[in-house]
């Protein structure tokens, strides 16, 4: 580690005309951190957490490892090979409070482990989700307390699924039992949340016309700062700046080429990439920048919406997702479910690989982060909420033991995992919803 005599505060920002850009953790910042300020994300422990939701369950035959190791990954998880040492697959978990089984309750209960009030009106009631419990604990330490992302923007209201209000399917994150937090699917808007240029759509358009690039206005300050730093820190800044510029370039390209998507369940604004994978990668890269710059430490991301009729012709599944999941044991439909599972996981795997390639403190960005990936539904044909597909990634700095398959022969509340992860990122709780204990086997204690 290269230590400068003149060190930098952790919250150092690059400032230009109407722009303030957070910096990644640099070696030059470490000497200025007191014992209290040396947050787990900056040093040896964990203080970042992300949650990724995929809808409508899975095909367990192509997802579940054969034994307690990940030596041989099943087809749906094969893309995780390079990061499997930082991965645990957990089977046998359930969401009892998601019953009676529905798409709405699958999404609603995933992070709340709470029972959604059956209503088609605005008197909906659920529970505070785990991401927002974490945000209340340490969200004030960053520019954004939390970041809520999705792939689909919907304005549907009223009843969406078996008498449940659409709000339960539309929102993954709730800051209170009566306060759902809307997710953002437009990359440009998320980019501006992270790096400025907020306001009305008209104000943002005017701001975009005033500047060609976010980074142009801080170029001089970047050069001045790099003169004070060692070689390793200069490389970190170059990589971070290149990542910001690349994300911005892709957003600008999508603004120029995007087309309206004709599918009825997708009301995506112009500027969202046409290809699903391009859009998802962009949203993952925005999470990467948000964590790397310590703009937020808490993210939720809905990879697709429950009951989505999105098609995936790029992977050989031209059929709408939702009808395929009512498989009735049909081998062809089950194979298509496995392909969709594999596709979604592959995008997550690319993201984990990028996190693992970024040095931070005494490890990598992935070492100092925890991600939970999964669905609130098990068998989509039965609309059940048992034996859920759950992955936990990262966490090496918190002594998570990767490369394993944790199997529960009897149903284990998903709330136990939520409780465990909250405690690992510094949110001391004794109980969450219907939890009965913690998943001690996940970590070396």
C-alpha–C-alpha distance, residues 227 and 72, integer Å: 48
C-alpha–C-alpha distance, residues 364 and 410, integer Å: 35
Q: Of 420, 407, 405, which is closest to residue 130 (Cα–Cα)?
A: 420
Specify the pairing of strand 363-364 against strand 359-360. antiparallel
Structure-token match 């100092």, residue found: 368
C-alpha–C-alpha distance, residues 144 and 135, integer Å: 9
pLDDT of res. 39 = 43
Residues linked to residue 406 through DSSP beta bridges, in sequence order: 90
pLDDT of res. 1 = 36
For 415, the enclosing helix (H) or strand (E) is: helix 414-424
CB atoms closer than 10 angstroms to residue 203: 11
**CATH for 13-442?**
3.40.720.10
Per-residue pLDDT of the chain (445 residues; tens, 9 = 90+): 334 444 666 556 565 545 566 667 677 666 555 444 444 333 447 889 999 999 999 999 999 999 999 999 999 999 999 999 999 999 999 999 999 889 999 999 999 999 999 998 889 999 999 999 999 999 998 889 999 999 986 655 555 777 899 999 999 999 999 999 999 999 888 988 887 754 555 555 555 555 455 566 677 777 777 777 777 777 777 777 777 777 777 777 666 655 444 433 333 334 678 899 999 999 999 999 999 989 899 999 999 999 999 999 999 999 999 999 999 999 999 999 999 999 999 999 999 999 999 988 889 999 999 999 999 999 999 999 999 999 999 999 899 999 999 999 999 999 999 999 999 999 999 999 999 999 999 997 5
Alpha-helical regions (H) of 144-218: 167-170, 187-195, 201-210
SS3 of residue 161 by DSSP = strand
Task: Give the full edge-to-edge strand order of the sheet including 390-394.
Answer: 147-150, 298-302, 49-53, 370-374, 390-394, 87-94, 404-413
pLDDT of res. 239 = 73
Region of 166 (left: φ > 0; alpha: ψ -120 to 50; beta: rest) is: alpha
- Count of CA atoms in the C-beta half-sphere (13 A) of 327: 20
Look up residue 268 and give its DSSP letter: P
Residue 271 CB burial class (10 angstroms; 0-12, 13-18, ≥19) = middle
Q: Which residues of 235-248 are buried (b: 16+ CB within 10 A; e: fewer)?
A: ebbeebbebbeebb
Specify the pairing of strand 370-374 against strand 390-394. antiparallel
pLDDT of res. 18 = 52
184's CB contacts (< 8 A; 6+ apart) are 148, 149, 150, 153, 190, 193
Query: What global pTM score does this model have?
Result: 0.81
Give me the phi and psi of 412, to 5 degrees please.
-115, 125
Tokens representing 329 are 């044991």
Specify the pairing of strand 179-181 against strand 298-302. unpaired
Q: What is the dihedral of CA 67, 351, 12, 210, to 10 degrees?
A: -160
- In whole angstroms, how far apart are CA 131 and each of 20, 127, 368? 26, 12, 17
Alpha-helical regions (H) of 175-275: 187-195, 201-210, 219-226, 231-257
* Domain extents in the chain: 13-442
Tokens representing 251 are 């957003």
C-alpha–C-alpha distance, residues 371 and 355, integer Å: 11
Residues linked to residue 28 through DSSP beta bridges, in sequence order: none
Helices (H) and strands (E) in the chain, counts: 11, 15
């Amino acid at each position: 580690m290269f230590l400068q005599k003149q060190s930098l505060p952790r919250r150092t920002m690059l400032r230009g005309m109407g722009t303030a850009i957070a910096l990644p953790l640099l070696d030059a910042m470490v000497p200025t951190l007191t014992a209290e300020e040396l947050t787990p994300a900056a040093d040896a422990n964990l203080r970042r957490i992300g949650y990724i939701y995929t809808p409508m369950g899975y095909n367990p035959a192509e997802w579940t490892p054969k034994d307690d190791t990940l030596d041989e990954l099943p087809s749906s998880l094969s893309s995780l090979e390079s990061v499997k040492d930082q991965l645990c697959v957990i089977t046998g978990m359930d969401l009892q409070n998601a019953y009676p089984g529905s798409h709405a309750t699958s999404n609603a209960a995933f992070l709340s482990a709470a029972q959604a009030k059956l209503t088609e009106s605005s008197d909906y009631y659920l529970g505070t989700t785990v991401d927002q419990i974490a945000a209340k604990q340490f969200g004030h330490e960053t520019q954004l307390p939390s970041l809520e992302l999705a792939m689909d923007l919907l304005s549907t209201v009223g009843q969406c699924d078996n008498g449940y209000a659409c709000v339960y399917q539309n929102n993954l994150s709730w800051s209170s039992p009566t306060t759902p937090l809307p997710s953002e699917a437009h990359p440009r808007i998320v980019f501006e949340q992270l790096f400025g240029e907020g306001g009305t759509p008209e104000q943002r358009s005017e701001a975009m016309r005033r500047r060609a690039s976010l980074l142009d206005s801080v170029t001089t300050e970047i050069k001045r700062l790099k003169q004070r730093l060692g070689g390793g820190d200069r490389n970190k800044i170059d990589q971070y700046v290149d990542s910001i510029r690349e994300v911005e370039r892709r957003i600008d390209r999508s603004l120029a080429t995007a087309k309206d998507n004709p599918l009825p369940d997708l009301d995506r604004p112009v500027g969202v990439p046409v290809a699903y994978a391009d859009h998802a990668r962009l949203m993952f890269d925005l999470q990467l920048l948000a964590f790397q710059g310590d703009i937020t430490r808490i993210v939720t991301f809905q990879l697709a919406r429950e009951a989505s009729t999105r098609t995936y012709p790029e992977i050989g599944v031209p059929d709408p997702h939702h009808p395929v999941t009512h498989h009735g044991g049909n081998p062809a439909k089950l194979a298509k479910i496995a392909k969709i599972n594999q596709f979604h996981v592959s995008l997550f795997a690319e993201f984990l690989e990028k996190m693992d390639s970024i040095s931070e403190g005494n490890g990598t960005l992935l070492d100092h982060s925890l991600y939970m990936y999964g669905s609130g539904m098990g068998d989509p044909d039965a609309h059940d909420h048992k034996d859920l597909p759950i992955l936990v990634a990262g966490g090496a700095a918190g002594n998570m033991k990767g490369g394993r398959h944790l199997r529960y022969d009897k149903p284990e509340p998903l709330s136990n995992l939520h409780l465990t992860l909250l405690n690992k990122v510094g949110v001391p709780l004794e109980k969450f919803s219907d939890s009965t204990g913690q998943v001690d086997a996940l970590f070396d204690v």
